[in-house]
Amino acid sequence: MAQLRFDNRVAVVTGAGRGLGREYALLLAARGAKVVVNDTGGALTGSGADAGPAHDVVSEIRAAGGDAVACTESVITPQGGQAIIQAALDNYGRIDILIHNAGNVRRGSLKEMSYEDFDAVVDVHLRGAFHVVRPAFPLMSDAHYGRIVLTSSIGGLYGNHGVANYAAAKAGLLGLSNVVALEGAVDGVLCNVIVPSAVTRMAEGLDISAYPPMGTELVAPVVGLLAHESCPVTGEILVAIAGRVARAVIAETPGVHRSSWSIEDVAEQIDAVRYLAAPLVFPVVPDGHGEHIRYSFGTAARNEGVRNV
């Protein structure tokens, strides 16, 4: 296969000063993209600011012959999100790719987590995503082209101890991505979710001695495809962990239909309700919402018809 390149494409990568975001920015730039490297340079908790990381990545890109500019605005406000997208317009006149990777972590058990810590994490991961998607999406729609990649996590899919804020925000991104994919489909704007795992500063304090190789370079190519003009999917979730790339889906069992239910009926049927031998997956695009309803209504109609014969 010929090398997949990004010549003449303009990309915005949030949280690009370190870790995964840095890897994404370097890869896109090496393949010809013009990159806005966005990072406030704050601590892992989200506090503080340091322009150094974003400018360091820009220097790396330029030293390798690429084209990039730094932006240190924060995604946590609508004004910051607008300024990040505006940086692409001011420097390159357009935006083709948006990768929202910015993140922070504030740990605490559910019994002890403060409202401040909950909001601080949701502000970066979930509201931050909306703050950059909202100004970018109309531009992409008008151009009839766009690639958006949002970042969820294993915690968003399955939860984890001590990160109710992080898990809630990351799960919320799945819903946001679905709507972007649905509303963008008519204009060639694709949106997908990456669920990445890599050893970055977010792994600080963890015992990683038994981990297999989990470098950021094992994740970046997956994001690269999702950001490329040849990307074949939208409204999907791809997982990248330790060299394994997979698709995650929201699935339903076929379920059980009755014309009436009692609590006891549910208790008696719960195993059949949960039986996953033939799971149903309704693709987000073109109309997963409608397919879910049509399937359910169809089941009711068929069963009621049989009952009424």
117 and 149 belong to one structural domain = yes
92 and 215 belong to one structural domain = yes
293 and 193 belong to one structural domain = no
Domain presence at residue 254 = no
Domain presence at residue 258 = no
278 and 206 belong to one structural domain = no
Nearest alpha-carbon partner for 226 in 140, 147, 143? 147
189 and 290 belong to one structural domain = no
173 and 287 belong to one structural domain = no
Give the catalytic positions in this structure. 166
172 and 293 belong to one structural domain = no
Q: How many CA atoms lie within 13 A of 83 on its CB side?
A: 14
Domain boundary among 203, 220, 248: 248
Domain presence at residue 255 = no
54 and 187 belong to one structural domain = yes
237 and 282 belong to one structural domain = no
Domain presence at residue 4 = no
Domain presence at residue 193 = yes
Q: β-strand 97-100 against 146-151: which pairing, if any?
A: parallel
Domain presence at residue 1 = no
- pLDDT of 309 reads 35
Look up the pTM and report it: 0.95
284 and 143 belong to one structural domain = no
Domains identified in the chain, total number: 2
CATH of the domain at 142: 3.40.50.720
In tens digits, the chain (309 residues) has pLDDT values of 999 999 999 999 999 999 999 999 999 999 999 999 999 999 988 999 999 999 999 999 999 999 999 999 999 999 999 999 999 999 999 999 999 999 999 999 999 999 999 999 999 999 999 999 999 999 999 999 999 999 999 999 999 999 999 999 999 999 999 999 999 999 999 999 999 999 887 777 777 878 899 999 999 999 999 999 999 999 999 999 999 999 999 999 999 999 999 999 999 999 999 999 999 999 999 999 999 999 999 999 998 764 543
- pLDDT of 290 reads 97
Q: β-strand 10-14 against 237-241: which pairing, if any?
A: unpaired
**286: containing domain:** 263-308
- pLDDT of 67 reads 99
99 and 210 belong to one structural domain = yes
Instruction: Name the amino acid, one letter, at 175.
Output: G
